[in-house]
Amino acid sequence: LGKSVNLTAVKDTGYLFVGWVGTGSGSVTSRSVTILVKPSGGAITEFAVFRPIAAPTWTLDVQATGIPAGQNYSVTIDGVTYSGVGTFAVTNISSGNHLFSAPMAYSEPTVNTRYVASGIATSFGTASGPVFVGANGTVTVSFTPEYLLTIATTTGGTVSGASNGDWLSPGAIETLTATASTGYHFVAWNGTGVGSYSGSTASISVTANGPITELAQFVVNPVP
């Protein structure tokens, strides 16, 4: 009784000391790390209060190149996908290593052009592997377009060469050949899109400067 005691609060890594809460005569309630207590009338209790340090989080501004204005696109960070138009912000990214990727984006309302991520760069380095994020920064996704090739036929023949539904890089050249079935003959190609072909030549080449549709038209041979 009456003996003074020094108490010092020692925090663990990742925690902050909040303060002492004392009860009883001679106790101390204080924010000081070290306190002096002196019981003067019975038992006292001193409770040291600690709280975890909130881990810092960061904001990444996401932007894109090689994609039309107004085109929706996405970026995936550690398997979570965030999407937007133009430049958009991704918040609450924790400190540490993160994996970045970008899904393909498709034109709307007609899904005949898609944009494939050709590279991702951050203000902390290229995202070819885990990227350490430890501050606010930027993410730039570079996209390259690809164009849909649609091939159709009327009854009476087939098309060889490229396949319906192929995705073509800008400037890609594809050869198509229309072959009539027995009892039919080829009439013409009806093409739409920049780089398409319309005409009566059975074997043609088309150049993908945009989405292309080619319809091979066949008719029944006349009865002798």
Across all residues in the chain, what is the average pLDDT? 94
The band of 139, judged by pLDDT with boundaries at 50, 70 and 90, is very high
CA-CA-CA-CA torsion for 197, 198, 200, 206, nearest 10 degrees? Answer: 10
At residue 210, does pLDDT exceed 60? yes
Strand order of the sheet with strand 100-101?
80-85, 72-77, 100-101
Half-sphere exposure of 119 (CA within 13 A, CB side): 7
Dist. CA 177–CA 201, nearest whole Å: 9
- Distance of alpha carbon 217 from the chain centroid: 42
- Gyration radius of the chain's alpha carbons: 35
pLDDT at 113: 97
Q: How far is CA 48 from CA 15, 21, 41, in A?
A: 12, 7, 21
**Residue among 29, 60, 222 at smallest CA distance from 134:** 60
Gap between the terminal Cα atoms of the chain:
128
Dist. CA 64–CA 53, nearest whole Å: 35
Dist. CA 211–CA 148, nearest whole Å: 5
- How does pLDDT run across 33-74, given as a tens digit for each residue? 999 998 887 888 999 999 988 888 999 999 999 999 999 999
The band of 1, judged by pLDDT with boundaries at 50, 70 and 90, is low
